[in-house]
């Protein structure tokens, strides 16, 4: 009887893991198509405030596709609210917190010399930039990062870990978000898979996707700010 219960539990975990990974892959492709259509049709052609408005549409679309849909479909095994709070405040030693933040900032500053990134960020062809325009744009970025990290580190990763263990889960959860970097700068695509592994490890370490949100936001915003500084915008 006990063996049968274990077998049923195993099958249930397998079903949840396969379902979560399948849903994640489908939603990732849907968002990839949505992003490429939106950027190709609007953002690259409309400078200034119009581009910032379309960036909000893009990031709100990400929030809906990558965030709201998996939240409604979420499976058991995700991080609990108590784990989320504990991870943000106490799950990491000080050296790891400092190292992670400095590494995120360092990667962004080092990427500032990439011509492709300099032309693509903060938004392709969204000129002229100003502090006011960037402050109007930046909250949409945060919405995107919350949806992104909830999807891959809050929805997908815990279910995969429950069935396959930490290392296979880290590898599997890195595949769908890497797909989202297809069509972006080559350096982004090459750095995506190891970046997803690192953010997944951070999430597993503390049992929360929020530290990954913070590090992802630090990386993106630091890159934007250093590019705008080099242009003399801010």
DSSP state of 119: H
Rounded to an integer, what distance in angstroms lies between the CA atom of residue 143 and that of residue 139?
A: 6
Helices (H), 63-165: 69-73, 81-90, 94-111, 115-120, 131-149, 157-164
56 near 126, Cβ under 8 Å?
A: no
Enumerate residue ranges in the chain where pLDDT < 50.
Answer: 1, 42-46, 75-81
pLDDT at 87: 53
Of 102, 118, 94, the residue nearest 187 (C-alpha): 118
Backbone dihedral angles phi then psi of residue 199, each to the nearest 5 degrees: -65, -35
Longest dimension (CA), the chain: 71
Domain residue extents for the chain: 15-230
Q: In this structure, what DSSP letter does residue 112 have?
A: T
How many residues in the chain? 234
- CA distances for 88 relative to 33, 106, 215, 224, angstroms: 33, 22, 12, 25
Residue 151: what pLDDT? 94
Q: Do residues 233 and 129 lie in contact, with contact meaning Cβ atoms separated by under 8 Å?
A: yes
Angstrom distance (rounded) from CA 233 to CA 227: 9
pLDDT value at position 104?
A: 82
Q: Whole-model pTM?
A: 0.85
pLDDT at residue 114, as a whole number: 82
State whether residue 20 is helix, strand or coil: helix
pLDDT on residue 164: 92
Question: What is the C-alpha to C-alpha distance for residues 204 and 187, in angstroms, rounded to an integer?
Answer: 26
């Amino acid at each position: 009887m006990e063996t049968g219960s274990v077998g049923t539990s195993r099958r249930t975990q397998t079903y949840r893991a396969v379902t979560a990974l399948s849903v994640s892959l489908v939603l990732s492709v849907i968002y990839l198509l949505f992003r490429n259509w939106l950027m190709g049709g609007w953002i690259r052609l409309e400078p200034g405030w119009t581009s910032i408005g379309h960036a909000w549409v893009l990031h709100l679309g990400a929030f809906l596709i990558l965030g709201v849909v998996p939240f409604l479909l979420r499976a058991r095994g995700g991080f609990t609210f108590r784990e989320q709070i504990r991870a943000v405040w106490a799950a990491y030693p000080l050296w790891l917190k400092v190292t992670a933040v400095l590494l995120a900032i360092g990667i962004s500053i080092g990427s500032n010399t990439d011509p492709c990134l300099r032309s693509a960020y903060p938004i392709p062809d969204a000129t002229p930039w100003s502090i006011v325009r960037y402050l109007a744009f930046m909250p949409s970025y945060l919405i995107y990062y919350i949806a992104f990290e909830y999807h891959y580190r809050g929805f997908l990763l815990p279910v995969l870990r429950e069935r396959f263990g930490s290392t296979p889960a880290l590898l599997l959860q890195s595949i769908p978000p890497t797909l989202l970097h297809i069509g972006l700068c080559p350096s982004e695509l090459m750095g995506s898979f190891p970046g997803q592994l690192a953010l997944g490890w951070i999430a597993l370490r503390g049992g929360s996707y929020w530290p990954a949100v913070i590090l992802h936001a630090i990386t993106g915003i630091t890159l934007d700010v250093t590019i705008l500084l080099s242009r003399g915008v801010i």
